[in-house]
Amino acid sequence: MAEEKQTLNFIEQIIEEDLKTTHTKESLYFRFPPEPNGYLHIGHASSICLNFGLGLKYNAPVNLRFDDTNPAKEEQRFVEAIKKDVQWLGYSWAKECYASDYFEQLYLWALTLIKDGKAYVDSQSSEEIAQQKGTPTQAGVAGPYRDRSVEENLTLFEQMKTGEAPQGAHVLRAKIDLKSTNMLMRDPVIYRTLHTSHHRTGTKWKIFPMYDWTHGESDYIEQISHSFCTLEFLPHRELYDWFLDQLVEGSKLRPKQREFARRNLSHTLVSKRKLARLVQEGVVASWDDPRMPTISGLRRRGYTPDAIKNFAQGIGVGKRDNLIDVSRLEFSVREDLNKKANRVMAVLDPVKVTITNYPQDQTEWLEAENNQEDPSAGSRQVPFSKELYIEREDFREEANKKFFRLKLGKEVRLKNAYIIKAESCEKDPEGNITEIFCTYDPKSKSGSGTQESLRKVKGTLHWVAINKAVEVEVRLYDRLFTDPSPDTHKDKDFMDFLNPNSLQVVTAYGEPSLGDLKIEDTVQFQRLGYFTVDLQSTKEKKVFNRTVGLRDSWAKLT
Ligand code: ATP
Ligand code: MG
């Protein structure tokens, strides 16, 4: 038993404890509650994996609840994007819920609070309210409207509701304790007026419930057993419980709020509001720009649901906020794609190679394995001919012994093909290599079984036959920010840390099989990394996003 406990995270321990005391297995119910004010990001993935993961583990339902109480920020398109992302991650929700569906019930409960003398309409400005609430070390004092009669409160609340009262003229506050050491208990605002159209309720409601008055009550309506939120809501728990104290009836299940640490990822931002700024200010092209840490950006970049889930589950839930290095996420996708992605050859920075002793008009089709990690992936044919491209950095006129690629007078193997030897090269007036002349050993064909084919040479290069090459656009991405935590500097804006080289576009040449790939297909460009077909590809030209390089190129630099 003790052993089993060690393998449970602290959230699971809470549930196990409750199962022994207050809860039955059948009463377990979870929810994931995003606000539809932007796209989901990698931080949300942690919360999704936690809640839906618990649902799978305990065979309990999980609701997807849109916390849509701020019409000024929320939009239907965000609702759609969030649903798509949760589904893409592979989870299904029991019910699709909206806090806005509970507006009527919340309003009726607010009336009860007013009638019980536990809520009042305050007509002070927000500055006056802030003043009157005091500070953490100084108790608050009652404002001039705190003792309004129930009748007056009901009348004014009605005027707030119908829109008869101007926007912002009043708020409804719970009447709790102005001396509480918890500032949130000092008569928190529970309703404000907004004459803005809501994406679902239109202009029906002019009063909108605040987060604290909505969240626990929505949990109660849905009979959520455990409501997990991030640590900054810890001080809200007292208020969450106070509201439930006013409402929970007899046999109904009482939800429990528990907190876990927010997940932060280095060199990026995990806040919808801040990510929205990157989109609005044109730093990135869209919410699903492959540089964005959004689920949709990661999908477009070539990340798989498994890579994201393995990353989230590998880190688990913590009790303290933590900054996870983005290289961990990159490791996770590399590991997953290594198993799943077919290998192909493409050259990103080409230089021409001519095989002088190869027949002029000949094209040979050579057998190439698709994925050595997965024998069921089969093989394909790759064309070989007299004129090839190799990577510019794979050739040097002279180099020391550690340079295992092509140099004058030395041999390398061309992957899946022959051993070649560099004989001479041509340069332009600036000294750039324009063409390399090589000879090949006709008996050295890979897999032919001849002695020559088994001959060991140090280097193996990828290459592409020019006469059959497919020209593609490749988008090379790098971290969006140069600083690990761009939004934590007191005197600086995160925009000051933008990486100017987060996107580089090149024209590359690939083997003909690239032509068969479809949008969102991911392949490994051998020796270079994983690349995914972007949705902006056209019939004429494919666009590839670099998902991740084969190695962590930053590790060497730091
Ligand atoms: P944002 O500032 O990005 O809008 P949020 O917390 O306001 O974040 P919500 O849509 O309200 O976003 O969050 C939905 C759920 O996801 C909440 O339960 C929230 O606690 C959780 N969540 C959001 N960001 C993170 C994160 N970085 N790590 C873990 N959980 C998160
Ligand atoms: Mg939010």
pLDDT reported for residue 449? 87
**Other Cβ atoms within 10 Å of 375 Cβ, number:** 10
Indicate the top mutation candidate among 47, 212, 292, 321 to test ligand 1's pocket, ranked by most ligand atoms within 8 A of CB.
47
The answer to whether residue 12 is domain-embedded is no
- 71 CA from centroid of ligand 2 (Å): 13
User: Tens digits of per-residue pLDDT, 264-273?
Assistant: 999 999 999 9
35 lines ligand 1 (CB under 6 A): yes
- Interacting residues of 518 by C-beta distance below 8 A, sequence separation 6+: 533
The answer, yes or no, to whether any atom of ligand 1 lies below 6 A from the CB of 262, is yes
Q: What is the DSSP letter of 262?
A: P
- Do 359 and 335 lie in a common domain? no
d(CA 534, CA 163): 48
Count Cα atoms within 13 angstroms, Cβ side, for 389. 21
What mean pLDDT is predicted for residues 137-161? 97
Distance 107 CA to ligand 1 centre (A): 26
Whole-angstrom Cα distance, residue 296 to residue 294?
5
Amino acid at residue number 417: A
Report yes or no on 2 lying in a domain: no
Mean pLDDT for 187-191 is: 98
Give the active site residue among 272, 301, 309, 413: 272
Residues 360 and 334 both lie in one domain: no
For the CA of 230, the nearest ligand: 1
H/E element, 335: helix 326-340
Same domain for 211 and 123, yes or no, is: yes
Which residues are close to ligand 2, an ion, with C-beta < 5 A?
Answer: 35
Which listed ligand is nearest to 271 at the C-alpha?
A: 1
What confidence score (pLDDT) does residue 268 get?
96
- Is the CB of residue 272 below 6 angstroms from any atom belonging to ligand 1? yes
Please answer whether residues 468 and 512 qualify as being in contact, where contact means their C-beta atoms are separated by less than 8 angstroms. yes
Tokens representing 112 are 């009860």
Out of 31, 35, 175, 200, which one is annotated catalytic?
35
DSSP code, position 261: P
Same domain for 206 and 350, yes or no, is no
Residue 49 inside a domain? The answer is yes
316 and 212 belong to one structural domain:
no
How many domains is the chain built from? 3
Give strand pairing partners of 524. Answer: 343, 530
User: Which pLDDT belongs to residue 322?
Assistant: 86
The answer to whether the CB of 188 is under 6 A from ligand 1 is no
Is residue 557 over pLDDT 70?
no
Average pLDDT over residues 510-534: 97
pTM: 0.93
What is the pairing mode between strands 522-525 and 350-355?
Answer: unpaired
Ligand nearest to the CA of 42: 1
Q: Identify the weakest region by mean pLDDT among 95-99, 431-435, 449-453, 467-471.
A: 449-453
- Are the C-beta atoms of 150 and 114 separated by less than 8 Å? yes
- Which of 44, 64, 322, 494 most suits a substitution to test ligand 1, by most atoms within 8 Å of the C-beta? 44
Ligand 1 atom 2 nearest Cα: 271
Would 267 be classed as within a structural domain? Answer: no
Residues 369 and 425 both lie in one domain:
yes
Overall average pLDDT of the 215-221 stretch: 98
- Is residue 87 scored above 90 in pLDDT? yes
Judgement on whether residues 494 and 476 belong to the same structural domain of the protein: yes
Same domain, 100 and 166: yes
The CA 296 to ligand 2 mean position distance, Å, reads 18
**pLDDT tier for residue 552 given thresholds of 50, 70 and 90:** low
| Ligand 1 center to 506 CA (angstroms) | 36
3-state secondary structure of 120: strand
Nearest-atom number in ligand 1 for the CA of 48 is 16
Does the beta carbon of 47 sit less than 6 angstroms from any atom of ligand 1?
A: yes
Q: Do 286 and 247 share a structural domain?
A: no
Q: pLDDT averaged over the chain?
A: 95
Per-residue pLDDT, 46: 95
Among candidate residues 260, 282, 306, the one where a domain is terminated = 260
The answer to whether 401 and 409 have CB atoms below 8 angstroms apart is no
What CATH number has the domain bearing residue 66?
A: 3.40.50.620
Cβ of 511 less than 6 Å from ligand 1: no
Atom 8 (ligand 1) nearest CA: 271
Task: Give the model's confidence band at 555: pLDDT under 50 very low, under 70 low, under 90 confident, else very high.
Answer: low
CA neighbours closer than 13 Å in the CB half-sphere of residue 110: 30
Evaluate whether residue 9 is within a structural domain: no
Q: Give dist(CA 420, CA 101) in Å, integer.
A: 71
Is 262 in the active site? yes
CATH code, domain with 312: 2.40.240.10
In a domain, 14, yes or no: no
6: in domain: no
How confident is the model at residue 179, as a pLDDT? 97
Q: Are residues 237 and 337 in the same domain?
A: no
How many C-beta atoms lie closer than 10 Å to residue 361's C-beta? Answer: 7
Asked if residue 322 has its Cβ within 6 Å of ligand 1, the reply is: no
Segment 208-231 shows an average pLDDT of 98
Is it the case that residue 41 has pLDDT exceeding 80? yes
Asked whether 106 and 209 are in contact (CB, 8 A), the reply is: yes
Buried b (16+ CB within 10 A) or exposed e, 40-60: bbbbbbbbbbbbbbbbeebeb
Contact 273 CB / ligand 1 (< 6 Å) = yes
For range 436-451, the mean pLDDT = 94
Annotation marks residue 272 as catalytic = yes
Contact 242, 213 (CB under 8 A): no
Q: Flag whether pLDDT at 262 surpasses 70.
A: yes
- Of 65, 175, 262, 263, the active-site residue reads 262
pLDDT per residue over 311-367, tens digit each?
A: 999 998 999 888 999 999 999 999 999 999 999 999 999 999 999 999 999 999 999
Evaluate the CA torsion angle 165, 171, 176, 180 in order and state its sign.
negative
The domain in which residue 529 lies consists of 272-342+472-557
DSSP 8-state class, residue 3: H
Angle at 440 between CA 436 and CA 445, to 5 degrees: 135
Nearest ligand, CA 231 = 1
Is the predicted pLDDT of residue 3 greater than 70, yes or no? no
For the segment 401-425, the average pLDDT, to the nearest whole number, is 96
Span of 70-79, 172-181, 450-459 with lowest mean pLDDT? 450-459
Residue 10 maps to a domain = no
Closest by Cα among 265, 291, 295 to 279:
291
Boundary of a domain, candidates 428, 462, 496: 462
Last residue of a domain, one of 411, 442, 462: 462
35 and 66, same structural domain?
Answer: yes
Q: What is the pLDDT of residue 556?
A: 44
Based on the domain organization, do 301 and 181 belong to the same domain? no
